[in-house]
Structure 1
Amino acid sequence: MASDEQVDDENLTASTASTDVRAQVRRIIAALSNTVALRGLIAVGAGTVILLLPNATTRLVTGLVIALLAASALMDLWYAVTGHRWFGRRISRWLAAPRGVAVLGLAAIMGFLAYVGGGETTLTIAVGVVGIYIGLRGVIAIISALIRRRERDPLPGLAGGALAIVVGVLAYLVPGSIVSSVIVAAAVGAIVLGLILIAWTLRHTIERSHLDPATATLPQVLWNWIEASDVGRKTRAEQASGLYFENPEKLTKLGTWWVMLVLSVAIATFAVLADSTAVIIGAMLVAPLMTPILGLAGALVNGWGRRAFHSGGLVLAGAVVAIVLAYGITAWAPVAISFSTNAQIVSRVNPNTIDMLIAIAAGAAGAFATVNARVASGIAGVAIAVALVPPLAVVGVSLNGGRFDDAAGATLLFLTNFVAIVLSAAAVFVLTGFARPFALRNRPRQLLKTVTPFLVLAGIILLPLMTASEGQLQSQSRERDVQNTVEDWLGDDTEFIITSVSVDGSTIDVTITGPGDPPAPAALHDALQESVGDSVTLDLTVAPVVVTVIPADGDDDPNGP
């Protein structure tokens, strides 16, 4: 009897749980059916499609750019003829006509190139032209700000002009990398924005904000999200206590920080000298530089000028001390360093765009771990993901060895990590409520002035990074084409194996291994020149394979009668 009652209770509990789950699912579906959630779902879907279908996205963006250029040209021509303009600034009709003709011609050329050469080439040309335009506008903005400096504050104009010049130079010099970066950034931004809109909708069903999801605009939703995410004064003070070295016990905190920095630099330097990856990871774990960098980001978005100055000064002083200490340790270490084969040095003297992307993600993760106690343990993984002390150690080691180019490359890597962490952490601090809504609402110009120099510095750093990335991509593409050409030259039934292929300017080195004689080298040279489209020098190395068979004891001699 008792058993039957127990079974009935279990069935009732299961039925109640099932009913609760169905009710919760219905509430979630109802919540996600409003306008804001639908926008979020569309944004997430669009961003995902862009990331998964790069070729289709490139063609689509190319078509949109051509269509927008053609529409802009037709509106200029319509305005030049009729004097009517639907939107945009009114200019001289005599200037509108030639501009419309020029833009229409550019759209026609881009359409032809898109049909013949593909969307990527067309976008590259468009981005280069836009880069020239943006750069010129930046120069004009700076000149205008200087001329009118007595009438209004010149800093916004100078900051905006400098940022425009940097963007224009990047777009003109590395248009291919800019195209890829903008598309990927737009896709990731759409996904993040979509997730925020969906999360806001779910929060709205519980907390019921004053906004109506059916009529709320995107800026209203984002601002409501920031206000609702505010962690509060008390929590913000507790979180800030771990980022800034202030009273009580300010000197003790600073002393501990400097001790850990010196120890981490010593470990990193010895790891570089010994070419030990495991020891480098240990140096990353104990390195304390992440704390003042995150503190700088938090101070920038909160308008804490004194804290920003102290955090920035601490980072600068720590970097200088790290380089000097690494230089001194190297001078006394009884180790002969091979700069060309030491993996810890080679991997840190040629940074590219991937290093900045890693630092952006690591900075966002570090900021999120700072404001969220449940994931605070992940800060160790952040320290490993982004290298702060090891590049400084490489700078000191390289300076001691007279390798100034290597020292410059390692310095660029540190600056890349520093700027990327500050910018991404600042964005996360705003979205997670660590930034004060009061400061964001009442001091936007001041906050913009403090963040803009980092944006300009990021643009300056991006130029050599993207140039290096583009050079590596071109080199890898050429080596892949050469590899395919060599495979075609050898044929399908060959016994030769391609050992190595390298391209250095106009010289192509190919090494193959196998028995017998390969096809005529002159045929390979002609094929390579046709594939590369330029005059090249072929350095072909053929390593013969000699097979010797020794029979087992008692077997007949294969060479005998």
Structure 2
Amino acid sequence: MNWTTVRGVALVLAGAVIMVGPREEALLVSLGAVLFAGWAVAELWFAFRRRGDARPAVGPISRTAMGVVLVIAALLLVLDDLPFSTVIGAALVLRGLLVGANVLTPRGRSARRDGVVMAASLVVFGVVVVVVPDTAVLAVRAGLGIGSMALGGIVLNMGLRQGAAGAESHQGHPATSPLDHRGAPALVNDWLVNRRLAAEDRAGLVETMFFEAPNKASKLASFWVMMVLATGIASFAVIQDSTAVVIGAMLVAPLMTPIMGVSAAAVNGWPTRLARSLVLVVAAAAAAVVVAWLIASWLPSVGDINTNTQIASRVEPSLLDFCIAVFAGAAGAYATVDPRVSSSLSGVAIAVALVPPLSVVGITLEQGAYGEAQGALLLFGTNVVSIVLAAVTVFVLMGFAALPPDREQRENLRRVVGVFGLGALVILVPLSLTSEDVWTEAADEGATHDVVTAWLPDDASVQYVDVEAEGDRISVTLSGPELPGDTDGLLDDLSDKLGYRPKLSLRLVPSTVTEID
């Protein structure tokens, strides 16, 4: 074992601790105060010390003002009772506004575009922190934890490779190696350079992800034929409420290819291919909605969309759908680059739904259910944004990015990641609101189950059947000849358990027991 391996293990363990560590508000406040203090020092430092002729994103006067505001914010976190999320969000919004104001000053077109993306991202992230603070904390913890574990995995892999190459010492102590004295950024750079794909491998991937010559017309024709067929299968499956057939439509759908093309073009600095892939994704999505609408219009009846489980499961996306799409996108990108696991692409297609939500959009639009159509469209957008961001990361780590990138490539990658990251932040708000409602109702139902079962008589004359929570209203279904007498006591116990007084309704289903000797 060498010290590089030890550092990798330490980073992996640190990421795990960040992911599952304590969630106390006091700890978050302390960390926030330290973060603000360090941020303030950095702002004041760069306000009075500029290097080179490059124009900074924020001017010295704005940096000085921002530094003072951050010092005040740190003091407010420690000395006042202001909500943690409010202070953090306000600071991010202010920083974004300062960056946006500086964009208005004369500067190059590229710098202006980068400034707009940065300003919008900071403002939107600040709003997300204020509106859905729990989700923001989860996102930050996940980002730091996964990032630390990914970095640890890279360092650990390089340490193990170095050890396997004969870096063990003969004194029984951890061996020293040329990597032991290099920082994490240098190790990551070595990893990326060493893992760069060969030219023929890159050419093969370009051939599979982009619809280009030779045979461009036939490639596009095949894509559109399969897209229409997949949409037809998905639409009929949704109307029939058949999960198995919907899975078949997921396997047939070709939409993952241009989405992967967007990520590949972004990491390699190919603006023309990026634009073409984006246009193809948008055009295919619009065509799928139209095809589904036509099928729903052609059929005499599509049934009751309110009781259709295929529709109901796709009109209220949550953070879990976002997480599924991120992991599926990473798996899809990995399987695309590594031919040894290319058979896993079918599983990726099943894990993340692309065509079925579009079919639901068309069907619900034809039925006039615009709210459900909006929810299904949000699910599709969530999947696309998540897949692109995850695939960009995997393509870079797997050596499919152009290295070393030139200035234009870095700018293109930064803009694409910024735009899709901004889209992810915007999507997180409705997803978080839906998730919080779902998680709150699930917790209320679990607490109600515990309280009701403890309240029921021991002779099992009345039995628990079901509970359903919706907002502050809780409906409990029981089975038995009559309700137990102390219903006021049940409501008091339930109020103590939930922390608020719900609107409780008890439904008694008569039961008949027939004993046959």
Runs of 5+ unmatched residues, structure 1: 1-28, 80-84, 111-121, 553-561
Distance 2:386 2:121 in 1: 16
- 1:286 to 2:252 alignment: yes
Deviation at 1:65, TM superposition (A): 4.3
Q: Secondary structure at the match of 2:474?
A: strand
Residues 356 and 420 in structure 1, CA contact (< 8 A), matched pair in contact too: yes
Match of 2:97 in 1: 139
1:66 aligned to which of 26, 30, 33: 30
Distance 2:253 2:478 in 1: 47
TM-score, normalised to structure 1, is: 0.81
1:386 aligned to which of 323, 331, 352: 352
Q: Secondary structure at the match of 2:467?
A: strand
Alpha-carbon deviations, 1:344-391, whole Å to 9, x = none? 111111101111111111111111111111111111111111111111
Residues 298 and 434 in structure 1, CA contact (< 8 A), matched pair in contact too: yes
Distance 2:216 2:151 in 1: 40
Moved more, 383-392 or 507-516: 507-516
Residues 241 and 309 in structure 2, CA contact (< 8 A), matched pair in contact too: yes
- 1:106 to 2:71 alignment: no
Match of 1:246 in 2: 212
TM-aligned CA distance change 1:69 to 1:322, over 3 Å: same
Alignment of 1:143-292 (within 5 A): 143-149=101-107, 153-204=111-162, 212-292=178-258
Residues 36 and 70 in structure 2, CA contact (< 8 A), matched pair in contact too: no
Match of 2:11 in 1: 43
Alpha-carbon deviations, 1:117-143, whole Å to 9, x = none? xxxxx9xx4233201210121122112
TM-aligned CA distance change 1:199 to 1:73, over 3 Å: closer
The total of aligned residue pairs comes to 494
Match of 1:426 in 2: 392
1:444 aligned to which of 389, 410, 431: 410
Deviation at 1:185, TM superposition (A): 3.0
Runs of 5+ unmatched residues, structure 2: 49-60, 168-176
1:297 aligned to which of 253, 256, 263: 263
Q: Which amino acid aligns with 1:217?
A: G
- 1:544 to 2:510 alignment: yes
Deviation at 1:492, TM superposition (A): 5.2
Alignment of 1:67-86 (within 5 A): 69=33
Distance 2:8 2:313 in 1: 40
Match of 2:427 in 1: 461
Q: Which amino acid aligns with 2:247?
A: I
TM-aligned CA distance change 1:168 to 1:249, over 3 Å: same
Moved more, 343-352 or 91-100: 91-100
Which has the greater radius of gyration? 1
Q: Secondary structure at the match of 2:22?
A: helix
TM-aligned CA distance change 1:397 to 1:385, over 3 Å: same
Distance 1:309 1:256 in 2: 20
Q: Kindly indicate whether structure 1 or structure 2 has the higher relative contact order, using CA contacts under 8 Å at least 6 residues apart.
A: 2
Distance 2:388 2:189 in 1: 22
TM-aligned CA distance change 1:41 to 1:454, over 3 Å: same
Distance 1:501 1:44 in 2: 42
- 1:470 to 2:436 alignment: yes
Match of 1:128 in 2: 86
TM-aligned CA distance change 1:335 to 1:62, over 3 Å: same
Distance 2:36 2:426 in 1: 31
Alignment of 1:549-560 (within 5 A): 549=515, 552=517
Alpha-carbon deviations, 1:56-76, whole Å to 9, x = none? 4324x8536416627967999
Residues 66 and 95 in structure 2, CA contact (< 8 A), matched pair in contact too: no
Q: Secondary structure at the match of 1:519?
A: coil
Match of 2:274 in 1: 308
Alpha-carbon deviations, 1:493-544, whole Å to 9, x = none? 6542221222333332222112454132233234344444545433222233
Alignment of 1:356-375 (within 5 A): 356-375=322-341
Alpha-carbon deviations, 1:140-197, whole Å to 9, x = none? 2112212344798311211100110111111111101221232233222222211111
TM-aligned CA distance change 1:484 to 1:430, over 3 Å: same
2:464 aligned to which of 498, 519, 523: 498
Residues 70 and 107 in structure 1, CA contact (< 8 A), matched pair in contact too: no
Q: Which amino acid aligns with 1:156?
A: D
Match of 1:115 in 2: none
Calculate percent identity across the aligned residue pairs.
38
Distance 2:437 2:66 in 1: 40
Q: Secondary structure at the match of 1:437?
A: coil
TM-aligned CA distance change 1:331 to 1:71, over 3 Å: closer
Residues 72 and 100 in structure 1, CA contact (< 8 A), matched pair in contact too: yes
Match of 1:413 in 2: 379
Residues 269 and 408 in structure 2, CA contact (< 8 A), matched pair in contact too: no
Q: Which amino acid aligns with 2:5?
A: A
Distance 1:93 1:341 in 2: 58
Distance 2:264 2:39 in 1: 46
Match of 1:18 in 2: none
Match of 1:558 in 2: none
Q: Which amino acid aligns with 2:77?
A: L
Distance 1:191 1:75 in 2: 25
Moved more, 233-242 or 344-353: 233-242
Distance 1:178 1:354 in 2: 14
Match of 1:323 in 2: 289
Question: How big is the alpha-carbon RMSD for the aligned residues of Structure 1 and Structure 2?
Answer: 3.1
Q: Which amino acid aligns with 1:387?
A: A
Distance 2:109 2:228 in 1: 50
TM-aligned CA distance change 1:95 to 1:352, over 3 Å: closer
Residues 32 and 74 in structure 2, CA contact (< 8 A), matched pair in contact too: no
TM-aligned CA distance change 1:519 to 1:461, over 3 Å: same
Distance 2:212 2:494 in 1: 66
Q: Secondary structure at the match of 1:500?
A: strand
Q: Which amino acid aligns with 2:101?
A: I
Match of 2:313 in 1: 347
